[in-house]
Structure 1
Amino acid sequence: MNESNQRPLVIERFYEALDGKTDAELTLEQRQAVEQAVLSITAASMHWVDVRKSFPFFSRRYYFVFLFGLDHRKRPRKESTLFCILMTALILFTGLSCTLAALLTLYMIKSALGIDIFPHFHLGIWDWWLSLKDH
């Protein structure tokens, strides 16, 4: 296998875009430094989830991008305290909502199957749900 088959595609594209004269003048140390810089820049674009779609809407095109993955950048982003507090609150609210929805679903399944875990104690949600059918 030759050297070009072992290099990542982004490095190959970089050298294709580079002027031939400049490419010939690079020393081995310069090549290694440039390749390391290119790889560190493109490392942030390797995502676990990468959805990029465009769609027409009223004679114009719009795009939607959803990226999810690790942040490989060397310099951390400065985020405000308010942003951190709001993000924490949003995550807690979402987690609590999902937990309550799962518990409610399990309770409704239990009630529909007629399973009575605590005798003589009911929340009344199943009876309320059945009363909606009567109206």
Structure 2
Amino acid sequence: MQRIKHPIRQSHTIRRLLDRMPQEVADSFTDEQLIELNKSMGGRSWAKHKLDIRGTVKWWRSSYYFVFLAGRNVRKLSRFEQQLSRFMLALLSTLILLFCICVGLLAAYLIKSALGINLFDGFSLGIWSWFKENIL
């Protein structure tokens, strides 16, 4: 009878472990046992992330690593984590809204200036002059 392969058996750590033992012993482990072995050896117990960016940066005489992971959250959050998550979402939403408002005001100002409309005689922010010289 052919055993269905569980994704844990494709794990690099588990494959290395199983390759070092006799085949009949390696086949005797259940998927649950392999998952727990993987956890105890420091392996990840979660699936692949939608966004998984890892790298290293050499700076001066040291090397630093960075990891950026993003994906669906399947963890149970504590009350503090839920409040922090809501606060960060509100902060991020506010920053995005402010950025959009600033871009919209800048676009409106450039359109106004391009049409030659002056709200205050003899006063200019200098944005239109800079835009004409550097962009147009």
The normalised TM-score by structure 2 is 0.57
* 1:15–1:22 distance in 2 versus 1, CA, 3 Å: farther
Are 1:91 and 2:88 counterparts? no
Contact 1:50–1:68 (CA under 8 A) maintained in structure 2: yes
CA distance in 2, matches of 1:85, 1:66: 21
Matches within 5 A, 1:1-135: 8=7, 10-12=8-10, 13=12, 14-18=14-18, 19-20=21-22, 22-26=25-29, 31-34=30-33, 41-43=45-47, 46-73=48-75, 76-80=76-80, 83-84=84-85, 86-114=87-115, 122=119, 127-129=124-126
* Larger relative helix fraction: 1
List runs of 5+ in structure 2 lacking aligned partners: 39-43, 131-136
Percent identity over paired residues: 16
Q: Which has the higher contact order (CA 8 A, sep 6+)?
A: 1
Q: 1:104 to 1:128 in 2, by over 3 A?
A: same
Q: Structure 1: how far apart are the matches of 2:54 and 2:108?
A: 39
Classify 1:92/1:130 alpha carbon distance in 2 versus 1 (closer, same or farther; 3 Å): closer
Q: Distance in 1 between matches of 2:120 and 2:91?
A: 28
Distance, in Å, in 2 between the alignment partners of 1:41 and 1:61 is: 27
TM, length-normalised to structure 1:
0.57
Gaps of 5+ in 1: none
CA distance in structure 2 between the aligned counterparts of 1:7 and 1:78, rounded to whole angstroms: 31
CA distance in 1: counterparts of 2:51 and 2:15, whole angstroms = 28
Q: How far does residue 25 in structure 1 lie from its aligned partner after superposition?
A: 2.6
CA deviation after TM superposition for structure 1 residue 106, in Å: 2.1
